[in-house]
Structure 1
Amino acid sequence: MKKSIIAFAAIALLASCDKKESADSLHITGNIKGLKNGTLYIQHIVDTSLVAIDTIKIDGNSSFESNIDLKSPEMLYLFLDRGVTNSLDNNILFFAEPGTINIETTLDNYLSSAKITGSKNHELYEDYKKINARFTDENLSMLEAKFKAMKRQDQKAVDSINAKQESNIKRKYLFATNFALNNKDHEIAPYIALAEIYDINVKFLDTIQKSMPPKVAQSLYGKKLTKYVADIKKQEQK
């Protein structure tokens, strides 16, 4: 009877360990149509540099997979080494989270054809990018108009465009803030705050930070945001 209890306890412990490991496990599957030979690097940012956490050799089969120990949802990069250039066109960003993520793309249109499924955080990130792109497009249009106005020395038009640009930036930052607050239950919230609006008034960052539930607050980006806000407040008190 005693041995049975010990055996049961051992099985329970192993099951607990397996559950913990699976909870932190990221399984990546994918296919790069048209790729026959090359090397894929799964990377993340350490300090300010991209560091590889896995390397995948492609030799005849364009399908690939990888298993990574992921402690917290994090923005990762799938870099394709074509042996020619280290262009950013070879780097797919994807917001990874524990579970299974699938990445499908083509060799000819590596970035534009990329379809990523299996991550709620990445789905939200794509939603954010679609709206945010409108502000970027508007600013590019205004830059073109501003250049033409400066060329014909029309200061009144330049001043008008400057005012519109400032308004566009404010709307862009307000959108990012509201997006983070509306999605505070996901790790995309502190990521947006840190990556997109880090230079906004600290009161907005503080609001986002305080809105995070414990799970998000204890995530990689949640902790970084908490420290970032605290550091700004400390600097302002000097």
Structure 2
Amino acid sequence: MKKTIIAFIAIGLLAVSCDKKESTDGLHLTGNIKGLKQGKLYIQRYNDTALVAIDSIKIDGNSAFETNIKLESPEMLYLFLDRGVSNSLDNNIMFFAEPGNLNIDANLDNFINGAKITGSKNHELFEEYQKINSRFKDENLSLIEAKFKALKRQDQKAMDSITAKGDSNIKRKYLFATNFAINNKDHEIAPYIALAEIYDINIKFLDTIQKSMTPKVANSLYGKKLTKYVNEIKKEQKK
């Protein structure tokens, strides 16, 4: 069961090859990396537990780029900038791609945080989710710092209080993610959040999200994965 969960955390996907010249449908991706004179961009997706390149774009003098990606269903992709130094995730922009036109504008100095992504409703919802979810992450970091200080001064009462606050923060985070997915059941962001953010929540919540999906979303890449995942858990619990 643990291996099944890990596989779904990664949102493992089969690599799909693309041909810039022949692909006229799917995702039409354009963009501009301000300040980038020379380098290489890679479009990546998860295959099992690792990111794999499905397309590459050479930048030589012109920082604007354009390509076509075969994409039958909305999914999370990554724009990787090869700086020739490291393969750090700091060089990777996550974007929720969907068939149609999508544009990414970024700059060399502030590649991720300065990126502006337009043309995808799912990505718009993903940014909305991330904005609120970051508050839970910030609070968790503050609690970790406070707990470390309490541990250092051996204040058991403070540690117990901080632990309780941490548990409450996690519950609120998971409840928010569940409600966000249900409220956006007509978009593929819903099953994605269930699989990537709250895969280990009580099965009844995952089951509720799965059953709330519209037929279109249920038939999408992540919709099918969520249905399979929920069924696997239920099957495991019956043993």
Q: If the length of structure 2 is used for normalisation, what is the TM-score?
A: 0.90
Per-residue deviation, 1:97: 0.3
Deviations along 1:28-73, one digit per CA (max 9) or x if unpaired, are 0000000011110001111111111111000010000110110100
- Larger Cα Rg: Structure 1 or Structure 2? 1
Three-state SS of the structure 1 residue aligned to 2:186 is coil
Per-residue deviation, residues 122-147 of structure 1 (Å, max 9, x unmatched): 00000000000000000111111111
Q: How far apart, in 1, do the equivalents of 2:219 and 2:50 lie? A: 23
Cα distance in 1, alignment partners of residues 72 and 44 from structure 2:
15
Residue of structure 1 equivalent to 2:157: 156
Output aligned runs, 1:97-112, within 5 Å. Answer: 97-112=98-113
- Give the unaligned 5+ runs of structure 2: 1-21
Q: Distance in 1 between matches of 2:138 and 2:190?
A: 23
Give how far 1:23 is off: 9.4
Indicate conservation of the 8 Å contact 2:23/2:68, yes or no.
no
Structure 2 counterpart of 1:180, one-letter code: A
1:200 partner SS: coil
**Conserved? CA contact 1:58–1:64, under 8 Å:** yes
Partner of 1:5: none
Aligned position for 1:139:
140
Q: In 1, Cα distance between the equivalents of 2:113 and 2:124?
A: 16
Q: Which residue of 2 aligns with 1:78?
A: 79
Q: Distance in 1 between matches of 2:225 and 2:194?
A: 10
The equivalent of 1:68 in structure 2 is 69
Residues 59, 33 of structure 1: CA spacing in aligned structure 2 closer, same or farther, 3 A cutoff?
same
Native 8 Å contact 2:97 2:120 kept in 1: yes
Sequence identity of aligned pairs in percent? 79
Displacement of 1:24: 4.9
* Bigger helix share: 1
Maintained 8 Å contact 1:23/1:99: no
Q: Which runs of 5+ in 1 are unaligned?
A: 1-20
Alignment of 1:1-238 (within 5 A): 24-238=25-239
Q: Secondary structure at the match of 1:42?
A: strand
Task: List structure 1 segments (4+ residues) > 3 angstroms apart after TM superposition.
Answer: 21-24
Contact 2:24 2:68 (C-alpha < 8 Å) held by counterparts: no
**Conserved? CA contact 1:23–1:98, under 8 Å:** no
